[in-house]
């Protein structure tokens, strides 16, 4: 039986933008001290060669360099070379199609 690989990362987001803006677009760095933060877990999915979000608010996307930076951080911590990050409904959030 294969061991499940889980990555848990702290992300930051603007609560106002999440609730009243265009969706949930977190960052991996705290740019604003008023930002909310939470941990989000990702599971390695060999079939998609990707990390798939498993909990938290469903991520709509990762703007700027947040996608590549998050992918690199998770890959490095777990010694993998995944090429994608998917949200809870298996939509690509990095790279975006």
- For 17-73, what is each residue's pLDDT tens digit? 999 999 999 999 998 888 999 999 999 999 999 999 999 999 999 999 999 999 999
pLDDT for the residue 97: 75
β-bridge mates for residue 9, sequence order: 40
Q: What total of structural domains would you count in the chain?
A: 1
Report the C-alpha gap between 97 and 8 in whole angstroms: 24
Report the C-alpha gap between 59 and 92 in whole angstroms: 10
pLDDT for the residue 57: 93
Q: Does some domain include residue 1?
A: no
Domain that includes residue 37, residue range: 6-94
Q: Is the dihedral of CA 60, 47, 2, 73 positive or negative?
A: negative
- For 2-24, what is each residue's pLDDT tens digit? 568 999 999 999 999 999 999 99
List the helix and strand counts (H, then E) for the chain. Answer: 2, 5
pLDDT for the residue 26: 96
Q: Does some domain include residue 75?
A: yes
For tokens 């008023």, what's the residue?
34
């Amino acid at each position: 039986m294969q061991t499940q690989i889980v990555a848990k990362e702290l992300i930051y987001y603007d609560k106002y933008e999440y609730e009243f803006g265009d969706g949930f677009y977190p960052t991996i760095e705290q740019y604003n001290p008023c930002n909310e933060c939470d941990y989000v877990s990702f599971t390695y999915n060999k079939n998609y060669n990707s990390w798939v979000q498993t909990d938290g608010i469903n991520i709509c996307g990762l703007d700027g360099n947040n996608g590549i930076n998050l992918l690199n951080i998770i890959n490095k911590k777990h010694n993998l070379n995944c090429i994608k990050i998917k949200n809870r409904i298996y939509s690509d959030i990095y790279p975006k199609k």
